[in-house]
Structure formats: structure tokens, C-alpha cells
Structure 1
């Protein structure tokens, strides 16, 4: 009787998806836990974990099991990793803004967003002092945007600074409420302390949101 051949290994991307699902479903996991759940070797699980860390989807922490015992390294989803799973936040946000606008008028949405901006500015100023060179402040802003899933990059052309958002976690809301994009641009100018102009906008169907920082150089 001919022995059945072993099933082919799962494609790497499918394995990474399963790994994310395990962490989502069961919470913080060790590399050994994940290797067992994926039915792969621990070194193979670590390779997938390394790739996912580089993509910003997973991060490592040191925890004590149950608050006791020896510390161990566990892996959890980042905000970007959480965003890979379906959410209803955008529809909830649109509903809330619609009710705010209906109850308090069109200007109420922008007032709410302005209040949110003021809170963000206070935290940003603690992390990125106003006396830093402009390029460092732009990089600090981009770092913050990336922690929230905007996939942003910064570059310089001559003396002019630019940054580009290649993803918009708020796109569904922004398409219905342009006030969100208005408040966003106002926030960036306040954080950087210089004028900021938006040259492209995803909510209008363009491929990214590109910003020019400061007035155009001559």
C-alpha cells in the first residue's frame, strides 16, 4: 500500500495570516505557543514573527505569566495589526458625526475635531520640542502618523520638506466629512509651527495625501 504524501506546507503569507489570527484570538503569545498553534518549528515561527515585526503588525513585550514567575517574551498586535481585522469603527464614527451635525449644526463637527487637535498638540509638544530643526519635527510627526497606520514617509527636495501619507485609516469618514481633512491639515501646521499645504488627497480619489511643509522656496 502506497504511503500518503505529507500535505504541502502552507504558503508563507497564509501562515503569517494564521499567526496574526492566533494572536488576535488568544492574546499575547510566546514563539513556542505560536509554533505549536501553526504546527511549525519554533525557528520557522520566529522568522514569520520577524517579518511581521518589520511590517509593524506585531510587537514583542516582556511579561510575567499570571503576574508571577520568570519574565517571558510574548508577541501582541500593534494598532496597525489590529487594523488588519474588520472593524465597524468607521460606520460608528460617521453615525456619531451625523448626529452631532444634526443636533448642533454644521460647525459643531469642526469644533469637536478642533478640541481633539488641542489634546493631540499637547502630547506632541512633549515628545517633539518646538526648538528642534524643522526636518526633525517633520520626522517626529511622520513617526507618530505611522504608529496610527498612515504609512507615511518624509523627503526633502532642495530646502523644501514634504511628507506623504500612503494610507488613510479614516478614509471612509473623510469621504463623507471633509471637516476631518480640514482639521487634519490645521493640526499638522500647528504641530510643525509652519504653514502646511495639501497637494493631493485620497478622499478625492487620488493615490495618497501629499503635504508641502512651509512656504514654497524660491
Structure 2
């Protein structure tokens, strides 16, 4: 295996998409030996992009698991974060919090129109989520969805390209929930179960159709 930057990028991408990994798990994902995976992790660790900790599972020996550091997460784009945060702060100072939220939700309405142009309202919930995840991935959210055993779905976004802006104003996150609801249908229940701003490694939403009224 060539120990080059592409190997490092692949390792970082896997940790971003799948969360913490053991060396064995990462080696399988990279399709390299455990020694090859260890080499990449140690190199990334020395550069401050990943960290490790020991975890005990049952009676076996503790396992070493690896995950991204804040610096590692920062390798993924945060869209115009510096300028956006400054603009948000100026709007707050000059127009107030309520005006800022109105602007954010107005922008959200634009997103709703754009999403609806690309998502067929007559499709099944599963097809709608497939299209939504594709759109969100193009926007930098690294999105995907999974079908749960109970018939519900999980929409998972492994990256937030507006994270710094969202830290400054929670209105962005509220607007996203409103957008998903309007695009997927009023008969859809959406609950955020993981939140990057709350310390999770990803944002995740449990999505299911409301029971039919008798």
C-alpha cells in the first residue's frame, strides 16, 4: 500500500461517516492490513486529526477505538462560516433576534420551494427520503437514510456545512425541521435524535408516517 494523502483522506472520511472505529474495523473499510491502518491512524494522530481511547466490552481485553478530533472534523467544509457568523452578529445587533429568525425562515421557505421542485409529492416516503438525502449530500451534509425494523426511517447527516452559523443562532436548526416537514408531508412525524450542536458526531432524524385516523 502506498502511504499517501489519499489513504489519509479515506481514513478521515470513514471516521466521519461511520463514527469511531477499531483498527481492525478501519482496516476492513480501507481494505488494507491492520498494520497499514495503524500506520495511517498514527500519522493522522501525530497531525492532530484523530484520537484514540480504550473501551472495555464484556470480559475481554479493552479495545482501542479511534475517532476524529475537532481539527479532524474541521477538514470538512463549513460554508463561508466566518462571513456568515459576522453577518448574523450584525443582524442581531442592528435588527434584533426576531428579525434574524424571520430572515432564516424566509430562506428556509426558498429551500422548501427548491426541494419540492426535485421531490415528487406523490412518491412514497422512502423515495422522498432517497431524493432528499441526495440533495442534502450535494449541499455538503453527507446525508443518507436507513429503514428501521419497525418500518420507520432514519435520516442521517454526518456533516453540517453551516455548523458555525448554527452555533450562533439555533433558528437554522428549527428551520431545517420545518423544511423537512413541509417537503416530506404534513402527515409525517420527525424527531431529531442526534444533534451535532449537542455534542453528537452527526445529526439524525427519526421519520415515520403518522397512524391513520380511524
- The two structures have a TM-score, normalised by structure 2, of 0.60
The equivalent residue for 2:203 is 209
Q: CA deviation at 1:88?
A: 7.9
- Equivalent of 1:145, from 132, 136, 142? 136
Which stretches in structure 1 are left out of the alignment for 5+ residues? 1-9, 18-82
The equivalent residue for 1:159 is 151
Rounded to whole Å, the distance in 1 between the matches of 2:200 and 2:7 is 33
The equivalent residue for 1:96 is 87
The equivalent residue for 2:97 is 106
Rounded to whole Å, the distance in 1 between the matches of 2:96 and 2:121 is 35
Question: Cα 1:114–1:86, aligned 2, differ >3 Å: closer, same or farther?
Answer: closer
Question: Cα 1:100–1:197, aligned 2, differ >3 Å: closer, same or farther?
Answer: same
The equivalent residue for 1:41 is none
Question: Cα 1:182–1:131, aligned 2, differ >3 Å: closer, same or farther?
Answer: same
Rounded to whole Å, the distance in 1 between the matches of 2:132 and 2:178 is 13
Secondary structure at 1:168's aligned position in 2?
coil
Rounded to whole Å, the distance in 2 between the matches of 1:86 and 1:164 is 18
Q: CA deviation at 1:145?
A: 0.7
- The reply to whether residue 133 of structure 1 matches residue 127 of structure 2 is no
Which stretches in structure 2 are left out of the alignment for 5+ residues? 10-73
Q: Specify the structure having the higher radius of gyration (Cα).
A: 1
The equivalent residue for 2:16 is none
- Equivalent of 1:179, from 142, 156, 171? 171
Question: Cα 1:135–1:93, aligned 2, differ >3 Å: closer, same or farther?
Answer: same
Rounded to whole Å, the distance in 2 between the matches of 1:162 and 1:177 is 25
Q: Is the 8 A contact 1:160 1:216 kept in 2?
A: no
Q: CA deviation at 1:214?
A: 3.0
Q: Is the 8 A contact 2:77 2:161 kept in 1?
A: no
Per-residue deviation, residues 4-39 of structure 1 (Å, max 9, x unmatched): xxxxxx84426998xxxxxxxxxxxxxxxxxxxxxx
Secondary structure at 2:145's aligned position in 1?
strand
The RMSD of aligned alpha carbons is 2.7
Rounded to whole Å, the distance in 2 between the matches of 1:167 and 1:15 is 20
Structure with the bigger RCO (C-alpha within 8 Å, sep 6+) is: 2
Q: CA deviation at 1:175?
A: 1.7
- The two structures have a TM-score, normalised by structure 1, of 0.59
**Matched residue count:** 145
The equivalent residue for 1:57 is none
Q: CA deviation at 1:210?
A: 0.8
- The reply to whether residue 120 of structure 1 matches residue 111 of structure 2 is yes
Question: Cα 1:88–1:160, aligned 2, differ >3 Å: closer, same or farther?
Answer: closer
